[in-house]
């Protein structure tokens, strides 16, 4: 429908909350804290559901917003936090993994269909290799980044599975309600997705 073909996917990883006020071990700890979010409605609804105050701010303005106290915290993958020096502006990080961010490797379907089969195979294989390598790099950045931010003074909290469930219980209804409103008659795929997740985690 879009004219784009997905060849593979990489990732930017699981996103986590940081802030400069207090440790966050449960959703109630987010009350009264302003969090920078991407200017995307789903992120706004998610933080609202968790009890925080979402503040959409462009990426380029984030360091200044943290430095000046316009916001108390933000959310990003560990590698992004460390590689961009955000840990130097924040005291606390919670490894809640509230969103998994995938990067899709796309190609014009029209262009792909113009290629010879052998060329299609080369392009498809290159995309799969790139996606696999991208995920590996991001996962390494996460594993290495946690230790690095701790070594530089950041306090990192890793929630238990019960605590993660408490975050999900608060965040998911707000996001699902927003999606149902946006998708209307096409919202049935949300139920299929949630059923698949339940099957996979039981």
Question: What is the CB neighbour count within 10 angstroms for residue 43?
Answer: 20
User: What tokens appear for 122 in the block?
Assistant: 């080369």
Stretch 172-189: mean pLDDT, rounded?
89
Residue 25 lies in a domain: yes
Per-residue pLDDT tens over the stretch 70-97: 999 999 999 999 999 999 999 999 999 9
Residue 131 lies in a domain: no
In this prediction, residue 202 carries a pLDDT of 81
Residue 52 lies in a domain: yes
Per-residue pLDDT tens over the stretch 6-49: 999 999 899 999 999 999 999 999 999 999 999 999 999 999 99
In this prediction, residue 1 carries a pLDDT of 84
> Which range of residues forms the domain containing residue 82?
12-104+152-201
CATH number, position 157 = 3.40.190.170
Domain count, the chain: 1
pTM of the model: 0.88
How does residue 187 score in pLDDT terms, banded at 50, 70 and 90? Answer: confident
Residue 138 lies in a domain: no
């Amino acid at each position: 429908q879009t004219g784009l073909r997905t060849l593979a996917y990489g990732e930017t990883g699981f996103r986590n909350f940081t802030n400069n006020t207090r440790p966050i071990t449960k959703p109630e700890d987010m009350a009264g804290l302003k969090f920078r979010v991407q200017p995307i409605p789903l992120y706004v609804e998610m933080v609202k559901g968790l009890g925080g105050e979402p503040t959409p701010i462009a990426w380029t303005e984030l360091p200044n917003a943290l430095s000046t106290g316009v916001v108390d915290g933000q959310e990003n993958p560990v590698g992004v936090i460390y590689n961009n020096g955000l840990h130097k502006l924040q005291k606390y990080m919670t490894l809640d993994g509230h969103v998994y961010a995938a990067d899709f490797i796309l190609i014009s379907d029209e262009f792909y269909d113009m290629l010879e089969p052998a060329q299609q195979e080369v392009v498809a294989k290159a995309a799969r290799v790139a996606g696999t390598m991208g995920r590996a790099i991001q996962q390494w950045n996460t594993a290495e980044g946690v230790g690095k931010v701790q070594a530089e003074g950041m306090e990192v909290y890793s929630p238990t599975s019960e605590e993660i469930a408490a975050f999900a219980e608060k965040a998911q209804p707000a996001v699902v309600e927003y999606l149902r409103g946006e998708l209307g008659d096409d919202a049935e795929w949300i139920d299929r997705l949630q059923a698949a997740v339940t099957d996979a985690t039981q």
